[in-house]
Amino acid sequence: MERHTTKFKVRLGLFITGGLMIFIAAVFIIGRQKNLFVPVYKLTTTFYNVSGLQVGNNIRFSGINVGTVDNIKIINDSTVQVDMLIQKNVQKFIKADCEAAIGSAGLIGDRILIITQGSFDAALAKDGQQIASKEPVEPDAIMASLQVTADNAAIVSFQLAEIMTKVNSGSGTLGRFIQDSTIAENINQTIVNLKKSSKGLDENMNAAKENFLFRGYYKRREKAAEKIKTDSAEKKAAEQKANDKKKK
């Protein structure tokens, strides 16, 4: 009987000790999340839509958790006020022109409040001060935009498939151009004719040069070209001579 009583007391003591340890750990974790063990100060901001933000969500600054959301209340039909508790040791980094934005801890994580960095020469945000905010982008709006993009891509792909089908079947101008060998032969023949025409034109020009009616015209052109070359050479020589005198 005494052994049974002793075992019961030992078990009861272990149960109570374990319960106390769990209770202390829970108080410590909750208190740490709620910033009960560190000095804090308060900031506020307003949003048109808090997009699922809840009391107790973390507040981040430069990627570090620096506080929690203390309270969320509706001011009117277009304004929701969010009260923040920020750790006192980061107050020296948060400026009056900082902005609050609602983000996510991950792709499917909880909502968080993000405080952006302010300008270097701005004043520090004081206790109880309201800072500006950026409205969050709703996931539904992002999905709607992606859906429109996907629909447009599907339409373009369908149209390209139709065009390629017509080209492969020889329909349309481009299809006939690619599939019809007669068109290719005609193009080759046109190129050959152009080459022949160019050769004939060169021969006509040479014949015109030999003709006494045009001989004077071509001689004057040759003399003018030679004069331009001579003038250019004389000009360069004069410039070189002037530069040599300056060096001396």
Q: How far apart are CA 74 and CA 65, in angstroms?
A: 25
Give one DSSP letter per residue of 20-66, joined into a string.
Answer: HHHHHHHHHHHHHHTT-SS-EEEEEEEES--TT--TT-EEEETTEEE
What are the tens digits of pLDDT across the range 174-223?
666 666 666 667 677 777 777 766 665 665 565 555 555 555 655 666 77
Q: How far is CA 76 from CA 54, 72, 101, 129, in A?
A: 18, 12, 20, 20
What element of type H or E holds 87?
Answer: strand 79-87
Q: Is the pTM of this model over 0.85?
A: no
Q: Enter the tokens of residue 210.
A: 């030999």
Q: Is the pLDDT of residue 125 over 70?
A: yes
pLDDT the model gives residue 10: 66
Q: Enter the tokens of residue 219.
A: 């001689």
Q: How far apart are CA 177 and CA 170, in angstroms?
A: 8
Query: Which of 15-19, 86-90, 139-143: highest mean pLDDT?
Result: 86-90
